[in-house]
Amino acid sequence: MFLPGRPLARRPCLLHGLESAPPISASMSREDGLLYYKQMQTIRRMELKADQLYKQKVIRGFCHLYDGQEACGVGIENAIKPTDHLITAYRVHGIAYMRGIPVKSILSELTGRQGGCAKGKGGSMHMYGQNFYGGNGIVGAQVPLGAGVAFAQKYQGFDSLCVAMYGDGAANQGQIFEAFNMSYLWSLPCLFVCENNQYGMGTAVERASANIDYYQRGDYIPGIKVDGMDVLCVREATKFAADYIRSGKGPMLMELETYRYHGHSMSDPGISYRTREEIKEVRSKSDPISLLRDRLVGSGLSSVEELKEIDVEVRREIEEASQFATSDPEPPLSDLTTHIYQTGLNSRIRGITPWQQLAAA
């Protein structure tokens, strides 16, 4: 059953429980424009490289790609501070990059090598960094965790907030509403972000949710619905939300209307529940990188040639990272039993058979 196409119309933010809105115009310097372009292009090419490596069976297991959603990750990170905190679900590679993890470390985590950001022990869904708590595999579980991170900021009197991200597929989880409740009651500095890419695995939003206005689902929590394909919209809306939250007014919910070109994961061709036409249409009318390119060229901030040079540089960087990720050794066998406990107990870990008592470290 194919549902009608989704043109993802350009429009101003929709508001819920708010009297003011993010600005409808924003300024972008040349430096910022080129930065956002490079960041989005890096994520795009990194994800396409991951697709390639997965098909070559160098990446195994789960691999959920972010291409199409780049404006979300890039817009958010450019509106918050490195001292702010962020947590998301399993579609994490682009976010991990924006949180400061190098492409090399991301790709070699995907290929399960010791140079990976989790030394090969986490894989696609479990990438962590400074003020960045993954990378979480259980749908929706990261949202109460994010509220807890926000709680810790307020408890310690810090100025920082936590961005807790989830998708349209997770949006009906009970624990998310529990997190909303506590965040509002205790005025936690938490920015809930629903990345609505229209499909929860193979289920379109209309078939999954009785109420698809995800920005309103926080009920008493003010919400905004934002064009998630436009990096400037995302940046401005995030800044607006962050200012609100930092002023101590409590949490906010931001729905980013976006789209993923790949299926849910590499196991999903992504065309049994949507048409190729729909995917093509989004690519031609709403691609986040194209939108920014048009803006940069149209406003004279950059040129087609200059952007092509950036493309070439990005491809080179990704290729280098990929070389590393496919040649770096796998973790040493002794890593099997490391990082079980922080406060070690000098106990032995039972192996496959009773005579294999492995040393914990």
Partner 1 sequence: MGFAGLAVGAAMAGLRPICEFMTFNFSMQAIDQVVNSAGKTLYMSAGSVHVPVVFRGPNGASAGVAAQHSQCFAAWYGHCPGLKVLSPWNSLDSKGLLKAAIRDDDPVVFLENELMYGVPFDMPEEAQSPDFLLPIGKAHVERTGQHITVVAHSRVVGFCLEAATALAKEGIDCEVINLRSIRPLDMATVEQSVMKTNHLITVEGGWPLFGVGAEICASIMEGPAFDYLDAPATRVTGVDIPMPYARNLEEISGPQVKDIIMAARRMLTGREESRATA
Site for partner 1, rule CB under 8 A? 85, 87, 118-122, 126, 128-129, 133-138, 141, 143-153, 155-156, 162, 174-175, 177-179, 181-182, 335, 338-343, 345, 347, 349, 354
- Calpha distance 324→49 (Å, rounded): 13
For residue 23, the minimal CB distance to partner 1 (Å) is: 31
For residue 28, the minimal CB distance to partner 1 (Å) is: 32
Specify the residue, 147 or 282, whose C-beta has the smaller distance to partner 1: 147
For residue 192, the minimal CB distance to partner 1 (Å) is: 13
Specify the residue, 56 or 355, whose C-beta has the smaller distance to partner 1: 355
For residue 94, the minimal CB distance to partner 1 (Å) is: 19
Return phi, psi of residue 163, to 5°. -95, 115
Specify the residue, 33 or 120, whose C-beta has the smaller distance to partner 1: 120
Asked if 249 contacts 32 with a C-beta cutoff of 8 angstroms, the reply is: no
- Calpha distance 105→73 (Å, rounded): 18
Centre a 10 Å sphere on the Cβ of residue 250 and count the other Cβ atoms it contains: 18
For residue 118, the minimal CB distance to partner 1 (Å) is: 4
Asked if 193 contacts 165 with a C-beta cutoff of 8 angstroms, the reply is: yes
Specify the residue, 233 or 325, whose C-beta has the smaller distance to partner 1: 325
Tokens representing 39 are 């960041």
Alpha carbon separation from 1 to 4, 8, 289 (Å, rounded)? 10, 20, 30
- Calpha distance 52→46 (Å, rounded): 10
For residue 14, the minimal CB distance to partner 1 (Å) is: 27
For residue 359, the minimal CB distance to partner 1 (Å) is: 14
Nearest of 86, 8, 74, 14 to residue 279 by alpha carbon: 8
Asked if 188 contacts 250 with a C-beta cutoff of 8 angstroms, the reply is: yes
Specify the residue, 4 or 355, whose C-beta has the smaller distance to partner 1: 355
Specify the residue, 131 or 258, whose C-beta has the smaller distance to partner 1: 131
Specify the residue, 79 or 150, whose C-beta has the smaller distance to partner 1: 150
Alpha carbon separation from 190 to 14, 128, 233, 250, 292 (Å, rounded)? 20, 19, 20, 7, 29
